[in-house]
Each structure stands twice: as structure tokens, then as C-alpha cells.
Chains A and B, each alone.
Chain A
């Protein structure tokens, strides 16, 4: 003989259904709208970096160019892993209206300078003296890279170490028509 009556059984079934629906939505739902950053598709936040060679560079100076903005730190192993790919890609794109900028975060100046000497990086590399750029760009760790189109709109964000193929793909997306839907990695 059953302890619960029909009404109670129905209530329990409804609750189980709601819980399963919630789990299903969390696991499989709304995949199309998942992006690596809410900033994708929006204007890139303005910044001014103090470069390791003493110069200063601002994003507004790069208007009309495709920008690869790479966040890194000297203590970060995946950053070392991607450094040769960044260097090779920069050599490939430097005369093609594409700018590479490295942003050193959560680091010490001496360690960062040693890193640059060791792993190359002929492109501008610097820090934000205000230490705000990493939060302005929603950075959670390193390496993370933003791709900004010539109009100043962020087309993609990539979390993790880059390869030359990945750089080619996202630089071309950024340089091309910005109507392309943003992607997630």
C-alpha cells in the first residue's frame, strides 16, 4: 500500500521535473549565446600603456588597424609556450596593418624585462601604471588575448596559449568584415 496519495505524488513529480529541467538548461541550454567575454562585439576600452622601452602607447593611436592585445606574465608557463608563436606571427603581420601589443600583468618589472629578452617580442610590450587595464578587459588569468578590428570593436577573445594557426584565424576575422558573429573558444 502506498504511503503518499496521488496529489502528493504529482507534487513530487513536478518538483523532480523542475530540478531536471534546470539541470538540463545549465548543461545544454543557450549554448549559442556563450561567449568568452561580454566585451565581444563592443568597443574596446581605451588604455594607455607604459612600454618597457619608456615610450607610451594608447589604443586610440591604433585606429584603423587590427590589434592583437595579449595579456601575459613572466611566471606564467602557458605564456612561455605561446611566446614563439606570437613572435613568428608578429613578423608575418607587422607590415600588414596589424599591431601586436603585449600587456604585462601581476608581475615584477625586472622579471618581465628578463622574460622579454629571453622570449623575444619585438612588438610593443608594457604595463598599465594604474593597474586597471586587466579589470577593464575582464581578465581572469594569463594568457588571454583580445582581437580588435580596425573600427575599434572587439571581435574575439581567446583564453589560453596561442598557436600560429589560432592567431591567423582570429586576426583574419578581426581584419575582415566585423559583421561576422563573435565566436567562443
Chain B
């Protein structure tokens, strides 16, 4: 028979899940925030390394106006971005979409970290184990020498006693 304690834990988990994933949660994002969010995802075509949100150029200003107008008309963020990609190409995107040769751009840093980490790890492990095996060899030699020495002492002591 389930106790009160047994019922409380699942109820708490369910409440937590509901709070996290509650459907239709009212968005506190203002239109300005949404314009800014889209503008940050687009690069200014006439600027050096500036997004549409950051640039003060005439073109970036025009683009921000169009983003605002299209969002006001009810278009989604994806639709607004697609509008600009259809006119300026994918180079306008602040981060290249993970498809085709672009996958390399996304994978290479990760692969470099993994292979680099593995390489360093293997190198450190081998150098450490080599050092350890060298030490244990020396220790074994030393122990053997010590025991020989002790045996000789024992023999000498026995001779004297006799």
C-alpha cells in the first residue's frame, strides 16, 4: 500500500516537469528583443565582422527595419532569416548551418580536441608508466642487493657466535 511519502516524490517530480515544460507559457520577449535576436543571427553584408544588430551602416539599419516589419506582420524568426538568405545567400548567417562541407567547420574543433587530448593522454601515460617501470626495476635491484648484504651479515654473525 503506497504511503504518503511514496506519493509525494512522484507528485513533486510531475510538478517540476510541468513547470519546466508547461505548454503555451506566456513569452515575456518584447518586439525589440525579437528584432535584436534575429539581427544578431545575421551578418552585416557591408561590414567587417559585425552583425546586423551591431552595425550602424545604412544597410544594417534598413535590414533591422525589415526584420521589425516582418515580425510585426506575424512572420516567424525562421521565415525572416530565410528571407535574407534568399537575397544574400548563406554567407549572411552569423553561424554556418551544419550541412554539407559546413559539417567540417563544426566537427574539426571537436575532433582536434579529442585527438589532441588522446595524444597528450597517451604520451603522458606512457612516459609515466615508463618512469614507474624504471623505478620498480631499480627498487628490485636495490632490494636484491640489500638482501645479499643482509645474508652476508647473518653469515658473519653466525661465524663469530660459533
Given A12-B115, A19-B108, A135-B66, the answer on whether A38 and B122 have CB atoms closer than 8 Å is no
Residues in A whose Cβ lies below 8 Å from that of B88: 38, 138, 140
Cβ of A116 under 8 Å from chain B:
no
A111 to chain B, nearest CB (A): 14
Which of A3, A15, A105, A141 gathers the greatest number of chain B CB atoms within 10 Å? A15
Contact A134 B46, beta carbon cutoff 8 Å: no
A8 in contact with B119 (CB, 8 Å) = yes
Query: How distant is the Cα of A13 from the Cα of B87 in the complex, in angstroms?
Result: 40
Q: Is A137 an interface residue (CB 8 A)?
A: yes
The stretch from B17-25, B57-65, B71-79 touching chain A is B57-65
CB distance from A73 to the nearest CB of B (A): 9
3 closest residue pairs by CB, A with B: A138-B87, A140-B45, A106-B58
A131 at the interface (CB under 8 A from B): yes
Beta-carbon nearest neighbor of A9 in chain B: B119
Q: Which residues of B contact A (CB under 8 A)?
A: 45-46, 58-59, 62-63, 65-66, 84-89, 101, 104-105, 108, 111-112, 115, 118-119, 122-123, 126
Inter-chain pairs besides A15-B115, A38-B87, 18 sampled, C-beta below 8 Å: A4-B123, A5-B122, A7-B122, A8-B118, A8-B123, A11-B119, A12-B115, A12-B119, A14-B115, A18-B108, A18-B111, A37-B87, A37-B89, A131-B62, A132-B65, A135-B62, A137-B87, A138-B87
CB neighbours of A8 from chain B (8 A)? 118-119, 122-123
Least CB separation from B45: chain A residue: A140
Q: A137-B87, A140-B45, A141-B46 are in contact. Are A22 and B66 (CB under 8 A)?
A: no
> Given A11-B118, A132-B66, A134-B59, do A22 and B87 touch, yes or no (CB 8 Å)?
no
Q: How far is the CA of A11 from the CA of B87 in the complex (A)?
A: 41
Q: Is A25 an interface residue (CB 8 A)?
A: yes
Bound state CA distance, A29 and B115, in angstroms?
A: 27
Q: Which of A70-99 contact B (CB under 8 A)?
A: none
Interface residues of A in 99-124 (CB under 8 A from B): 105-106
Least Cβ–Cβ distance between B3 and chain A, in angstroms: 56
The answer to whether B63 and A135 touch across the interface, beta carbons within 8 angstroms, is yes
Decide if A135 touches B59 in the complex (CB within 8 Å).
yes
With A11-B118, A38-B85, A38-B88 given, is the CB distance from A3 to B63 under 8 Å? no
> In the docked arrangement, what's the CA distance between A138 and B66, Å?
13
Contact residues in B for A29 (Cβ distance below 8 Å): 101
Knowing A4-B123, A11-B115, A135-B66, say if A22 contacts B86 (CB, 8 Å). no
Q: Answer yes or no: A62 CB below 8 A from chain B CBs.
A: no
Q: How far is the CB of A151 from chain B (nearest CB, A)?
A: 19
Given the complex of chains A and B, what is the CA–CA distance between A19 and B107 in angstroms?
A: 11
- Scoring A8, A12, A134 by chain B CB atoms within 10 A of each residue's CB, the highest score goes to A8
A39 beta carbon closer than 8 Å to chain B:
yes
Closest chain B CB from A32 CB (angstroms): 15
